[in-house]
Amino acid sequence: MKLSVQLGDDRRRCGGCTLCCKLLPVRELQKKANTRCEHQSRKGCAIYHQLGFPPSCALWNCAWFGGDKDLVRPDRCGWVVDVMPDMIRHHNKETGEIQEIEAVQVWVESGLDLTHDPRLRRFAERCAARNAVVLLRYGSQAATAVFPPAMCSDGEWHFVGRELMTILPESRTGNLLLDRMKEEADAQA
C-alpha cells in the first residue's frame, strides 16, 4: 500500500522510500535501529495496517512526508526527520544548572557523516530559530547533538558526539519527552 499526503497541488508519496522502516527501532518487533525490518519490501510494509502491524509504526510520521518543503525525500539523502521531538539535558559545569532542550530527532544511515551537509546545516539553523537542537540518531544509543552558531556563545558549529554525552538508563518509551508525558499522566490517574 502506498501512502500519500495532499499539499495544495503537490502530493507526496512514500513510493520506494522505506528508509524509516530500516532506521527506526520498533520495540514491538524487537527490531533494532539501523537494521532492515523483516516486513520491509520494495513496495513498503508487507503488514501495513494488518494484524501484527506495530502501534509505534502506526503512530510514527516522517517530516518530509508531512510536507516540510525544505527536506529531501529520505531515501535520497540518507536521513529521515521524526516529527516527534525528544529532549536532551545540558549540564552547565560552571553554574551547575541543568537545562532541558528540545531535540529534533534525525535518524541517519550508519556510516553517513552529516557534519558538512549543507541541507542538514540549514535544517539545524531552522530548528535553532525555535530553540531546538538536532539530534542525529545513528541507532538507539549512538547520537550526535548539533548546535548551530546561533545557539553557541562562540558563534561556531558544535557537534557533540557520544564521547561527551551520557546515555541515560533505558527509558519506558525510548524518548525522554514521552517518558515525562507518561509520568505526568500516571500521576494524574
Q: What are the tens digits of pLDDT across the range 123-171?
A: 999 999 999 999 998 887 778 899 999 998 899 999 988 665 555 555 5
Higher-confidence residue of 129 and 66: namely: 129
Residues 130 and 160 in one domain: yes
Residue 62 DSSP class? B
Mean pLDDT of the region 17-25: 90
Rg (CA), the chain: 17
Q: Supply the range of the domain harboring residue 108.
A: 84-189
Higher-confidence residue of 14 and 166: namely: 14
Cell (9 digits) for 12: 507526496
**Count of the separate structural domains present in the chain:** 2
Predicted TM-score (pTM) of this structure: 0.79
Q: How far apart are CA 164 and CA 162, in angstroms?
A: 5
133 is a domain residue = yes
Residues 55 and 106 in one domain: no
Residues 95 and 179 in one domain: yes
79 is a domain residue = no
Residues 90 and 176 in one domain: yes
